[in-house]
Amino acid sequence: MNTYFIKSIWGPGGVSYPAGDGLIDFSSKRSAERFAECDGFFLYETAGNPRTGNQGGRKSIYAQGTIHSGIIGVDWNNLVQHFWNVLVDFNKIVHPSNGIPLDVIRNILGMDKHSTIQRPGGLIKITDEQFAALSLEFKNCLEK
């Protein structure tokens, strides 16, 4: 059995995150370690960041990828919070407005209509079957 995740990022930011360096940031070393060992992942943009009041995220999956290498370092320049970085490769990326919407994600994951995608560390583990269904749905997003 493989390990797959949906990694949440605060929206809006999908069009600019991750930057060209392909690094996914984690504030928790344990979350970074779990993510670095996965076989594949999706990025999900939330509606916004409640800490900053920044709103406008699309609530959609907008990228699919694999891990390039494990944790490649810690950003010690960030005085507020150190970030553990995982280098990834993207198979597919779309603008978040063209991604898999939250209602479709909930349906595939078997969640009720009031469930959120947010989990500690921004990671939600999904099954092989859920990953395959989301991959097929994401392929449809690319063909739009």
Give the residue numbers spanning the domain of 56.
Answer: 4-142
Q: Which residue has the higher pLDDT, 77 or 80?
A: 77
Higher pLDDT, 126 or 113: 126
What's the domain count of the chain?
1
In whole angstroms, what is the distance from residue 93 CA to residue 18 CA? 11
Residues 136, 128, 139, CA angle at the centre, nearest 5°?
15
CATH number of the domain where residue 136 is located: 3.10.590.10
Average the pLDDT over 126-130 and give the result.
Answer: 97
pLDDT over threshold 90, residue 115 = no
Residues 6+ apart with CB under 8 A from 58: 11, 12, 14, 45, 47, 96, 97, 99, 101
pLDDT tens digits for 19-77? 777 888 888 889 999 999 999 999 999 887 766 667 778 899 999 999 998 777 776 67
